[in-house]
Amino acid sequence: MLPAVSRRASSGDGAGRFAALVRTVRESAEGERHRRLFWAACRAGEIVAAGGIGAETAAAELVRAAMDAGGRDLKNAEATARDGIKRGMAAGGAA
């Protein structure tokens, strides 16, 4: 199960919501890290679409969190973050 990220925070506090996403990835255990990274990247893409953070900055922070959590495949983490952010930006822009 993926953690809830407050919708209340999403309305005006993109930085706080993004920090919660980074924390979610950083606290992920082996076996759930990839799925949580993608989920967090999709949510981060929504924040990017709203102008709350830049896409490159978001990706770099999420990848760093994944690697801090024990990730071993940097290229895969980068691709996962990039793909999730793109998807989230598309969804966020459509809202």
- Tens of pLDDT, residue by residue over 5-62, are 544 334 457 889 999 999 999 999 999 999 999 999 999 999 999 999 999 999 999 9
pTM recorded for the entire structure: 0.85
Residue 23: predicted pLDDT: 98
In whole angstroms, what is the distance from residue 24 CA to residue 17 CA? 11
Residue 14: predicted pLDDT: 86
In single-letter form, the type of residue at position 33 comes to: R
In whole angstroms, what is the distance from residue 12 CA to residue 17 CA? 9
Question: Is there a contact between 34 and 72 (Cβ–Cβ < 8 Å)?
Answer: no
- Phi, psi for 29 (deg, rounded to 5): -90, 165
Average pLDDT for 68-72? 95
Residue at token pair 């809830």: 4
